[in-house]
Amino acid sequence: MIATCTLNPSLDYYLEFEDEIESDKTNRSTLEYYEAGGKGINVSVVLNNLGVPSKAFGFLGGFVKDYYISLLTKYSNIQPNFTYIDGNTRINIKCLGKDNIDLNAVGPYITQESMENLKAKVLRLNEGDFFVLNGNTQPNLNEDIISLLKELIDNGVKVIVDTNIDLLKEVIKLKPFLVKTTVEELENVYGELDSAKDVAKVAKEFYQNGAEHAVIIYESEKAMMASKEGCFKCKFVYDEIVNSVGVGDSFVAGFIMNYIRSHDAVDSFRFGAACGCATAYSKSLATREKVDKYYEEVEVKEIDD
């Protein structure tokens, strides 16, 4: 089983504009629609598009929750298993035009009772299952999340983590299956990373400190991976990006799916990059047809020490 967890999901309200969005003016959209948002949900959606079932954990609450769940019913391979809370799930506004504008809410406070409810559900996972924690973790949950991930790893669950860098660095010590982050996140801790060599150094550090596979997305179009097989890089965006939302999440979904069938980390790195590419060149998240097309184009190169 693959389980994804989105601790701070969002109902994303998309507005598309033909004209430039201007301040101090009424801007009228040409198209509006809603999507169930959140990085863990993005992973589940891409897995669904690849024909792979997943169970979706996280917190939902308020008047948003029922509509959010209804949006997931169109995905036959996603099984929602959310913990319901008293607070309102956030609504994010995505304005798409000549310049994209994101207006993201902070999200609700999660009580200890709600966290314990979530932990009880997640700890039913068995040895060999995959658990994907994607997206921002609320600061008051850090200790609970570290405790949960430790117990999962001790139970033989393969844990994948893509969250805020301060928590990610602590999780690496637990020896997770995969960690994934971006240079933008890393620079909050490491300062400016000027070159691929700098990125490779951090990826190797993460691997040496415990991560079985450490992946870093950099320059919005390239990926680096350090693992026991070595250090590898690839470029997965070759033209102008159509959509940057969910590129990294698509990578995670593709890596997991391919690893389950091949147990080949390097080929999974390549397949994950193809999934990221398929999302980057689409208005929506990656589909199997597009992934197969871009898989043939992605080239992985080993980096010499």
- Known catalytic residues are 249
Contact 269, 251 (CB under 8 A): no
Task: Report the C-alpha gap between 218 and 133 in whole angstroms.
Answer: 20
In the chain, where does DSSP find H-type helix? 39-49, 65-72, 112-122, 142-154, 165-172, 183-190, 196-208, 247-262, 265-280, 288-295
Show Cβ contacts of residue 61 under 8 Å, excluding neighbours closer than 6 positions.
84, 85, 86, 87, 88, 89, 108
For the chain, the maximum distance between any two Cα atoms, rounded to a whole number of angstroms, is 56
Are 195 and 188 in contact, with CB atoms under 8 Å apart? Answer: no
DSSP strand pairing (101-103 vs 90-96): antiparallel
DSSP assignment, residue 171?
H
CA atoms 22, 105, 282, 302: torsion sign? positive
Distance, in Å, from the CA atom of 179 to the CA atom of 215, rounded to the nearest integer, reads: 6
